[in-house]
């Protein structure tokens, strides 16, 4: 019977769903519950059709057990739950209610399902056993082939490898050694068999190697890599990278050590050279700054009596390079290094070339160490002796003696460098100890100098104007431009601008500002503008001045430019004075001291006026009874007799004004006469 009416079909689906729920947890089947239910519904159809068939036959149901096994419903409880679900469902199914002898047929059906299931399970087990046998046989054959190939491959690698290979027993004796290892140490391969491997290494490495092999043999580490020295037959070392591992037998017990060695002698030599180059100066062979800093830090941290740093700068070394050539200069630097090392050979000390013509010496002081003045004398005495080419040198030295324990190496080196710079300002062959107060002032000045470009860009700098007064008549002839930046006056601003290389930019800006302000009321008078040394040497000065006058409208007759006397003496910027005069701009000299060479400049440059150096005014004020007064008075008279006007700066007292008035200088400016003021306060002038 094949009843496909809706009620019967629904009941068969209920049986299939109940069957699915019963067997689903008993075995893993790669199907979803819906797919399992659909599969079991087909089996329910087979069983229900067989029960209703006439004549009744159980054979069609035999496939049910087989199909369950093929679908992997093979869990321990699968058959039991299948019989339970089917027995109850078939006996009480409305569809089968009228089937004659239903109970007997259900029992027969369940027996057929059980028999088919058991038979299929047995056949499946047989099939799996056959597959295992075939797999084992295949694996055995493959293993034999792999073993033969592996042995051949091992022999090929062992014999032809560029790496040295040694197989040793657990006592360290060589069982087999390849040709590469024998060639590496210059020995015959046959004589190595039976020898202890550690005997082939440098004796200094023997204990460490024994520790290595024990660690690998005990299983504490699987493999060790390290660098050691093999010894050739002639005693020469061969640097090798070793890889040591353990070879176990079939039972997993330690059997042999395998040692592989790669010859890295050339690499080791290259690395050694690179390490030396990284830490030493390539010319002199002395320690470089990096190694010096490391050693300095170590000595500073461990010294009992404190350390002393000597930072040397060779005096006028550029003359050697420029006059005799860099090859001679290089030989001198090498000789200087040798002499400095010989000087401290009895001390715990290090000499380094810190760069260019600068050297450093750090000494770990002891009771027998020379004092700082004695050491400085010894250094200059060592350098004073003529070199092979007859050149003798001297050094300017900055000394940091026993720096505080809390200082780091960077601070010590910075202090030494700063002290050397201060010593160079004093002169050649000078030395100075570190001065905390002077260093602090220098750092503050340098910090201010570093901020100057930003101050110029942000319009923090100002131009002020100080009246230039006719001392005889008391009238104002004009105004001299003065720079101001916060609490810094004109001279300090000019000095900072020169140090930072900003002098041209600051000077051009100040000239433009001053010319614009001067082109105001007639009462402003003449604009007196003092150039910095860098401005005085500027090849583009004339064009800058002319452009400024064109842009601001200031007449050339109302501008007087003063060039720096020192720059003119050096022969730099002489053309500027002449070309400015040719363009109708009066010129003069500033910071004039009155020496013979400076007096000669007055005639050579045909200047109109000069401003004395502030130091002249200051020295005269400090020595009221000095013979300098008479000398200066004669100098002023001589200059004025040639038609050149003399201006005096920085008058700060009535006594000074009275004296210079008696000397009959042309004009003066200073705080005693009138302070410098910003442009907006000039309206009443």
Q: What is the CATH number of the domain that holds 213?
A: 3.30.450.20
Kindly tell me if the per-residue pLDDT of 454 is higher than 80.
yes
Q: Is 162 helix (H, G, I), strand (E, B) or coil?
A: coil
Please check whether residue 142 lies inside any domain of the structure.
no
Taking residues 536-565, report their average pLDDT.
93
Upstream peptide bond of 463 is cis (omega within 30 degrees of 0): no
Burial class of residue 610 (count of CB atoms within 10 Å of its CB; 0-12, 13-18, 19+): buried
Taking residues 448-474, report their average pLDDT.
90
Q: Could you tell me which of 618, 542, 552, 524 has the C-alpha nearest to residue 584?
A: 542
Q: Give the separation between CA 668 and CA 475, rounded to whole angstroms.
A: 11
Taking residues 434-460, report their average pLDDT.
86
- The reply to whether 227 and 122 lie within a common domain is no
Taking residues 135-156, report their average pLDDT.
65
Q: Could you tell me which of 326, 308, 303, 294 has the C-alpha nearest to residue 397?
A: 308
pLDDT, residue 2, reads 45
Q: Which H helix or E strand runs over 322?
A: helix 317-324
Kindly tell me if the per-residue pLDDT of 678 is higher than 70.
yes
Residue 61 contacts by C-beta under 8 Å, 6 or more apart in sequence? Answer: 46, 47, 50, 109, 112, 113, 116
In this predicted model, which residue has the larger pLDDT, 77 or 670? 670
CATH code assigned at 13: 1.10.490
Kindly tell me if the per-residue pLDDT of 680 is higher than 80.
yes
In this predicted model, which residue has the larger pLDDT, 6 or 529? 529
Taking residues 618-625, report their average pLDDT.
81
Domain end position, chosen among 215, 235, 269: 269
- The reply to whether 561 and 651 lie within a common domain is yes
pLDDT, residue 110, reads 84
- CB-based contact 11:98 (threshold 8 Å): no
Kindly tell me if the per-residue pLDDT of 111 is higher than 80.
yes
- The reply to whether 67 and 165 lie within a common domain is no
Q: Check residue 239 and give left, alpha or beta (phi > 0: left; psi -120 to 50: alpha).
A: beta
Cα separation values, 65 from 43, 85, 445, Å: 9, 14, 102
Confidence of residue 153 (pLDDT cuts 50, 70, 90): low
- The reply to whether 459 and 334 lie within a common domain is no
Please check whether residue 258 lies inside any domain of the structure.
yes
Question: What does residue 471 show for φ and ψ, rounded to 5 degrees?
Answer: -65, -30
Domain end position, chosen among 434, 459, 477: 434
Please check whether residue 409 lies inside any domain of the structure.
yes
Q: Where are the alpha helices (DSSP H) in 53-101?
A: 62-70, 78-91
Summarised one tens digit per residue, pLDDT across range 576-599 is 888 898 888 999 999 999 888 888
Please check whether residue 525 lies inside any domain of the structure.
yes
- The reply to whether 101 and 210 lie within a common domain is no
Please check whether residue 122 lies inside any domain of the structure.
yes
Please check whether residue 376 lies inside any domain of the structure.
yes
Kindly tell me if the per-residue pLDDT of 675 is higher than 60.
yes
- CB-based contact 520:468 (threshold 8 Å): no
pLDDT, residue 138, reads 66
Copy the structure tokens of residue 670.
């200073």
Task: Give percent above pLDDT 90 in the chain.
Answer: 36
Question: What does residue 248 show for φ and ψ, rounded to 5 degrees?
Answer: -105, 160
Range of 263's domain?
161-269
Summarised one tens digit per residue, pLDDT across range 289-335 is 988 999 999 999 999 999 999 999 999 888 888 888 888 899 999 99
- The reply to whether 429 and 506 lie within a common domain is no
pLDDT, residue 136, reads 64
The single residue listed with the structure tokens 């640097």 is 239
Taking residues 225-250, report their average pLDDT.
84
- The reply to whether 476 and 576 lie within a common domain is yes
Kindly tell me if the per-residue pLDDT of 271 is higher than 50.
yes
Kindly tell me if the per-residue pLDDT of 48 is higher than 50.
yes
pLDDT, residue 147, reads 61
Summarised one tens digit per residue, pLDDT across range 359-379 is 999 999 999 999 999 999 999
pLDDT, residue 564, reads 93
Kindly tell me if the per-residue pLDDT of 4 is higher than 50.
no
**Pairing verdict, β 586-592 and 559-564:** parallel
- CB-based contact 269:256 (threshold 8 Å): no
Please check whether residue 541 lies inside any domain of the structure.
yes
- CB-based contact 436:622 (threshold 8 Å): no
Kindly tell me if the per-residue pLDDT of 8 is higher than 70.
no
Taking residues 237-259, report their average pLDDT.
84
- The reply to whether 657 and 532 lie within a common domain is yes
pLDDT, residue 382, reads 92
- The reply to whether 289 and 263 lie within a common domain is no
Q: Which H helix or E strand runs over 254?
A: strand 254-263
Confidence of residue 650 (pLDDT cuts 50, 70, 90): very high
Residues forming beta bridges with residue 588, ordered by sequence position: 562, 609
- Exposure string of 469-498, with b = 16+ CB inside 10 Å and e = fewer, is bebeeeebbbbbbbbbbeebebeebbebbb
- The reply to whether 175 and 255 lie within a common domain is yes
**Pairing verdict, β 586-592 and 609-612:** parallel
This prediction's pTM: 0.54
What average pLDDT does the chain have?
86
Taking residues 401-419, report their average pLDDT.
93
Confidence of residue 674 (pLDDT cuts 50, 70, 90): very high
pLDDT, residue 68, reads 85
Confidence of residue 132 (pLDDT cuts 50, 70, 90): low
Please check whether residue 276 lies inside any domain of the structure.
no
pLDDT, residue 5, reads 44
Domain end position, chosen among 243, 269, 295: 269
Taking residues 138-158, report their average pLDDT.
66
- The reply to whether 244 and 123 lie within a common domain is no
- The reply to whether 675 and 530 lie within a common domain is yes
CATH code assigned at 349: 3.30.70.270
How many domains is the chain partitioned into structurally?
A: 4
- CB-based contact 558:527 (threshold 8 Å): yes
CATH code assigned at 516: 3.20.20.450
Burial class of residue 238 (count of CB atoms within 10 Å of its CB; 0-12, 13-18, 19+): buried
Confidence of residue 685 (pLDDT cuts 50, 70, 90): very low
pLDDT, residue 515, reads 94
């Amino acid at each position: 019977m094949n009843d496909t009416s809706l009620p019967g079909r629904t009941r068969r689906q209920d049986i299939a769903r109940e069957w699915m729920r019963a067997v689903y947890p008993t075995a893993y089947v790669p199907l979803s519950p819906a797919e399992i239910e659909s599969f079991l519904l087909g089996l329910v159809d087979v069983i229900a059709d067989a029960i209703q068939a006439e004549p009744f036959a159980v054979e069609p149901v035999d496939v049910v057990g087989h199909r369950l096994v093929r679908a992997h419903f093979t869990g321990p409880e699968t058959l039991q739950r299948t019989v339970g679900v089917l027995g109850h469902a078939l006996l009480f199914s409305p569809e089968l209610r009228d089937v004659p002898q239903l109970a007997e047929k259900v029992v027969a059906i369940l027996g057929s399902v059980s028999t088919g299931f058991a038979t299929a399970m047995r056949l499946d087990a047989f099939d799996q056993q056959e597959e295992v046998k075939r797999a084992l046989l295949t694996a055995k054959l493959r293993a034999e082939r792999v073993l033969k190939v592996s042995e051949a491959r091992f022999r090929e690698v062992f014999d032809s490898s560029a790496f040295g290979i040694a197989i040793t027993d657990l006592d360290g004796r060589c069982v087999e050694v390849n040709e590469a290892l024998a060639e590496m140490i210059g020995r015959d391969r046959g004589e190595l068999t039976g020898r202890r491997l550690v005997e082939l290494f440098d004796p200094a490495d023997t204990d460490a190697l024994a520790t290595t092999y024990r660690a690998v043999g005990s299983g504490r580490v699987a493999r060790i890599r390290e660098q050691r020295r093999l010894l050739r037959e002639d005693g020469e070392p061969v640097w090798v990278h070793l890889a040591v591992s353990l070879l176990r037998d079939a039972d997993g017990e330690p059997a042999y050590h395998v040692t592989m060695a790669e010859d890295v002698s050339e690499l080791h030599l290259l690395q050694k050279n690179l390490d030396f180059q990284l830490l030493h100066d390539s010319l002199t062979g002395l320690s470089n700054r990096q190694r010096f800093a490391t050693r300095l830090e170590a000595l500073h941290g461990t010294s009992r009596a404190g350390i002393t740093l000597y930072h040397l700068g060779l005096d006028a070394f550029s003359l050697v390079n420029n006059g005799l050539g860099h090859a001679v200069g290089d030989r001198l630097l090498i000789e200087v290094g040798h002499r400095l090392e010989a000087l401290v050979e009895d001390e715990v000390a290090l000499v380094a070339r810190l760069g260019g013509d600068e050297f450093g010496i750090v000494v770990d002081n002891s009771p027998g160490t020379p004092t700082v003045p004695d050491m400085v004398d010894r250094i200059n005495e060592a350098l004073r002796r003529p070199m092979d080419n007859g050149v003798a040198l001297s050094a300017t030295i900055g000394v940091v003696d026993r720096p505080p324990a809390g200082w780091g190496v960077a601070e010590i080196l910075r202090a030494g460098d700063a002290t050397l710079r201060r010593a160079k300002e004093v002169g050649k062959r000078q030395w100075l100890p570190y001065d905390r107060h002077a260093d602090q002032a220098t750092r503050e000045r340098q910090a201010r100098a570093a901020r100057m470009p930003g101050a110029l860009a942000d319009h923090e700098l100002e131009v002020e104007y100080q009246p230039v007064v006719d001392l005889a008549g008391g009238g104002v002839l004009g105004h001299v431009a003065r720079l101001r930046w916060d609490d810094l006056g004109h001279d300090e601003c000019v000095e900072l601008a020169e140090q930072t290389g900003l002098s041209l930019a600051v000077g051009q800006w100040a000239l433009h500002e001053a010319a614009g302000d001067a082109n105001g009321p007639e009462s402003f008078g003449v604009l007196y503008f003092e150039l910095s040394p860098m401005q005085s040497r500027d090849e583009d000065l004339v064009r800058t001045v002319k452009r400024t006058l064109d842009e601001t409208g200031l007449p050339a007759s109302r501008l007087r430019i003063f060039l720096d006397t020192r720059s003119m003496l050096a022969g730099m910027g002489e053309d500027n004075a002449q070309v400015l005069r040719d363009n109708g701009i009066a010129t003069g000299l500033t910071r004039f001291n009155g020496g013979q060479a400076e007096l000669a400049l007055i005639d050579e440059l045909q200047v109109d006026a000069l401003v004395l150096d502030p130091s002249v005014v200051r020295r005269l004020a400090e020595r009221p009874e000095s013979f300098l007064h008479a000398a200066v008075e004669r100098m002023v008279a001589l200059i004025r007799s040639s038609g050149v006007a003399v201006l005096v700066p920085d008058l700060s007292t009535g006594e000074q004004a009275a004296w210079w008035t008696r000397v009959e200088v042309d004009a003066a400016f200073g705080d005693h006469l009138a302070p410098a003021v910003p442009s907006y306060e000039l309206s009443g002038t």
